[in-house]
Amino acid sequence: MALIELKQVAYQAGDQEILQDVSFAVEEGDYLTLTGPSGSGKSTTLKLIAGLISPNKGEIFYQGQNLDNLDLVQYRRQVSYCFQQPTLFDETVKDNLALPFAIRKQEFDEKRAQEALKQVDLPADYLDKKITTLSGGEKQRVALIRNLLFRPEVLLLDEVTTGLDEESKQIVHQLIARVHQEGTTIVQVTHDQEELAASKQLLHMEKGGVLK
Amino acid sequence: MKSMAVSDLSLILSFALVLVSVAISWKEKLGLTKDIFYSVARAIVQLVIVGYVLKFIMQVNNAILTLLMTLFIIFNAAWNANKRDPNPNRQLWQSIVALLIGTYITLGVLLLTQTVKLKPMQIIPITGMIAGNEMVAMGLCYKALATGFHDQRQQVLEKIALGADVKTASMTILRRSIKTAMQPTIDSAKTVGLVSLPGMMSGLIFAGVDPVYAIKYQIMVTFMLLSATGLGAVIAGYLSYRNYFNKRSQLREEE
């Protein structure tokens, strides 16, 4: 049984048909990259898998269960979507890293948050740092570990390294590689050559459909 | 009281004040002339009808009739509050529930503490004041929610993507909206008597009541409005933020 399976999925936003008849499967442990030109429906496909939107036609399955029958709030804690240009909340880095704990009604674990910061090459005292003082690369790193504090089954990455400086990009690449090695399935959208090379499986999309 | 009666001629002559705003609209090319005449005509018709209805209800002095009148006020206030909600997925019943609870709890406390008596001449104007202020507060809350969900759409989406339920994802916007709705009443409580002599107090003083006695009523009105606007905004806010999401806990597309 595939971990995630899309069957003849179509999605329309207003009058605009974005996806038509998309079908593919993601196996557990996969490292899949969706490629293709802008407007081919890659990000929409990721958002559909993340349960942020629902298809107009077709079905999406997770561990054999139709997403329509799942509690999407719980599901999104397992299948985590990371945005291209993430927004950090409130005032400090701590406010952001506390959110995944608050969502799960758990006490904030400062040590765990500091460990996570180290994984993306940020010092422990960054917890109290104001988000307005962070660089774009630092913001993306904080956003990424916000998704990974509670390790998801599937990590959906929507061009997360676009616009990052080389150092931040490398740190993010290393983190994604480590997370994948530890068993998290990765589905990403990217144009980055290094990320395409790291991917085990490529799926080319064009005009709202999957070509190969 | 007779000395207070406004003669028909005086009333007609005071219409000149309306012409002042018409002249401003005309001179400044504001395009409000039609709107001013329409609103004045509407106000006259509504007040004449209400005047006769209130006279009848007060003469009959029947509890059920008084209750029906309060329900009529509440429904109208709910209808108008709901119209002020920019969300196309707004629900009228939510405004009705918020106004029913907010108005009747506040009114109940006033009755239990014997601040007001179960008489139409007291209950109906007080209900109007409560519901009117709640309506304004709820309208502000709805507008602030719409602005919040528009401006902070990305934040809400990200919280949802992290696995937050819709309430957690909306909490920052919801708190700010309730605060926005309550703030004018709190601010006006700070300046009451210093900047403005509000309706209740002015009315009593106008009617010849000792100002020291009149302020007691105004203090009661201040307490009452704090409760009513707070309850109205909280209930309306907590019921209506969900209208921005579908049943699948997904943020609806903006229209």
Kindly provide the ipTM of the predicted complex, given to two decimals: 0.93
Question: Longest C-alpha distance within chain B, in Å?
Answer: 69
| Torsion on CA atoms B229, B231, B232, B237, rounded to nearest 10 | 120
The burial of B15, by beta-carbon neighbours within 10 Å (0-12 exposed, 13-18 middle, 19 or more buried), is given as: exposed
| Residues of chain B contacting residue A87, judged by C-beta atoms under 8 Å apart | 154-155, 158
Contact B250 A89 (CB under 8 A): no
Pick the CATH number of A4-89+153-210 from 3.40.50.1480, 3.40.50.300, 3.50.50.100, 3.30.360.10: 3.40.50.300
Contact A52 B160 (CB under 8 A): yes
A29-60 pLDDT, tens digit per residue, is: 999 999 988 888 999 999 999 999 999 999 99
Instruction: Tell me the pLDDT of chain A (212 aa) as tens digits.
Output: 899 999 999 999 888 899 999 999 999 999 999 998 888 899 999 999 999 999 999 999 999 999 999 999 999 999 999 998 899 999 999 999 999 999 999 999 999 999 999 999 999 999 999 999 999 999 999 999 999 999 999 999 999 998 888 999 999 999 999 999 999 999 999 988 888 888 888 999 987 677 65
Q: Which of B158, B165, B253 is closest, CB to CB, to A86?
A: B158
User: Residue B60 is which amino acid?
Assistant: V
Whole-prediction pTM value?
0.87
Chain A residues with CB under 8 Å of a chain B CB are 13-14, 50-54, 72-74, 76-77, 80-83, 86-87, 89-90, 99-100, 102-104, 143, 146-147
User: Three-state SS across chain A?
Assistant: CCCEEEEEEEEEECCEEEEEEEEEEECCCCEEEEECCCCCCHHHHHHHHCCCCCCCEEEEEECCEEHHHCCHHHHHHHEEEECCCCCCCCCEHHHHHHHHHHHCCCCCCHHHHHHHHHHCCCCHHHHHCEHHHCCHHHHHHHHHHHHHCCCCCEEEEECCCCCCCHHHHHHHHHHHHHHHHCCCEEEEECCCHHHHHHCCEEEEEECCEECC
Domain chopping of chain B, boundaries: 1-60, 62-244
In chain B (255 residues long), the average pLDDT of successive 10-residue segments reads 71 92 94 94 93 90 92 96 96 98 96 91 93 96 98 96 96 97 92 79 86 88 93 98 96 88
